[in-house]
Chains A and B, each alone.
Chain A
């Protein structure tokens, strides 16, 4: 149970929790969401104005600076999780720029034990982007599959045609892991499309499969979906890592467990809208509102919207 009410936890508390986390000196895991807002909320570029990506990156950089100030110099980023399926419209140079900013603000791990994951939309990426991301240091890939609407055999085939080369590349070149993320929604309420989709996913043989609920009708219904998925994927050589997450019962499962153990030993820093940070003594969440996020950063404050201290002897509330 949270020791403090979420709405009483603010940016100064988060900064204090960051500073306290230096005592344990754990490695860091950086989770960032970029773009900072969904495409429909992204303002069009004005003539002569800054590219929306540049604006987002400038704000993200400001957030990095504010966080970095609270951390001791020696703490390294051992894990990086870039979510947001950011690739559509994003150039390779912009991806490089993001990594350059991160390297400028933090010390990024380069050894084999790093876990740098990028989440991509397979329909909006290609092999060259994948090789570029690998050159930037990413070594784990999540491909988020489009939400299925009813029977879409043609769309499934077209998705598979995009996924197969990426799957092949990650295996040949030696990415540490590949995860196929299937968004599950109302379409999976009837058993047939779900089964069909899971069979198609397993047939591709990815090391990991994740079912990510979006707009699922109820917890009970979701439980039924996951139970059905467990049965089907276990029969096809997968082991269960957690609710809706699976890895092949071979080196992939051992790798997933090892990654989870490493992640548990790190302090998580969440950047961007809705970013969640988990520190030994506190959890904090950024605002999910892109305008509130922008306003906070533009005012030189962290965009913490909620959080709580985990310890009963937590420091007194800052506000």
Chain B
């Protein structure tokens, strides 16, 4: 999803300690690219270290485990597995799928860079849904026991953690409202305006982006059949709201799209 951003190259690289790299030009370049620390990460202003001082950031950095990139379709963790860590998305995107008692899958979240994955496992100490990479994705693993201990020492970190949880609760409320009150057109318009806003906050274009998820996933997330998603996309294009080519989305009239998303009352 974010592969056009130069800094994404760095996010896709696994973390390797500097002193383990050969002293060659190529090695130094790789070392530079692969050293992914919170201080140098372009997402730190959106992620947990947001309010930390430099020395505190080092302490935070020390508890983070940089994992190898997940391939498309690979699970970060599965529903019901023991909760051990939360994860910050560095690049790519993931989806959360919750399987109900009758075996039906419900897509319950999409995660973009800087967003925290796994906070909903704290309470019952198991992950309530499986989280799967939608494309090549890198994450920072933050063991929760160490995060908990560190946040007791660093109030700014604790505050930021609370803010992340609060944001997740707020997003859930928005999603409940969307699923309970919005028409199909409003749902899709809300989805696009929300994505646009999330990309804008990360410094990317609010008007042009690539969907990493197929239409079936979008439909599942929004409670719509895939045919309905396609139908409404066609209508939005006719109305000059968006232009869609494959998974490339260009928002042509963001204000009008927001207006559709926020329409009230019956049609």
Contact = CB atoms under 8 A, between A and B. Distances in A.
A207 to B, nearest CB: 12
B174 interface: no
A306 interface: no
A139 B182 CA distance: 14
Interface string B201-226: 00000000000000000000001110
Contacts of B148: none
Given A132-B231, A135-B184, A136-B231, A174 B225 contact: no
B265 A96 contact: no
B255 interface: no
A199 B48 CA distance: 58
Nearest to A131: B184
B185 to A, nearest CB: 6
Main secondary structure, interface of A, reads helix
A135 B232 contact: yes
B267 A139 contact: yes
Contact of B227 (A132, A134, A139): A132
Contact of A173 (B181, B227, B232): B181
A243 B240 CA distance: 47
Given A139-B266, A174-B265, A174-B267, A128 B180 contact: no
Contact of B228 (A91, A135, A176): A135
Contacts of B267: 112, 134, 139, 174-176
A203 interface: no
B183 interface: yes
Interface in B229-249: 231-232, 235
Contact of A128 (B181, B185, B224, B235): B224
B228 A131 contact: yes
Contacts of A174: 183, 265-267
Contacts of A254: none
Contacts of B185: 135
A234 interface: no
Interface string A101-128: 0000000000010000000000000011
Nearest to B181: A172
A59 B182 CA distance: 36
A93 B230 CA distance: 10
Given A174-B265, A174-B266, A175-B266, A134 B183 contact: yes
Interface string A162-192: 0000000000111110000000000000000
Given A139-B267, A173-B181, A173-B182, A131 B227 contact: no
B183 to A, nearest CB: 5
Nearest to B180: A172
A92 interface: yes
A92 B228 CA distance: 8
A131 B225 contact: yes
Interface in A7-57: none
Nearest to B225: A128
B21 to A, nearest CB: 53
Nearest to A176: B266
Interface of A: 91-93, 96, 112, 127-129, 131-132, 134-136, 139, 172-176
Given A131-B183, A132-B224, 20 more contacts: A92-B228, A96-B227, A96-B231, A112-B266, A128-B223, A131-B184, A131-B223, A131-B224, A131-B225, A131-B228, A132-B228, A134-B267, A135-B183, A135-B228, A135-B232, A136-B231, A172-B180, A174-B266, A175-B266, A176-B267
6 contacts: A132-B184, A135-B224, A172-B181, A174-B265, A174-B267, A175-B267
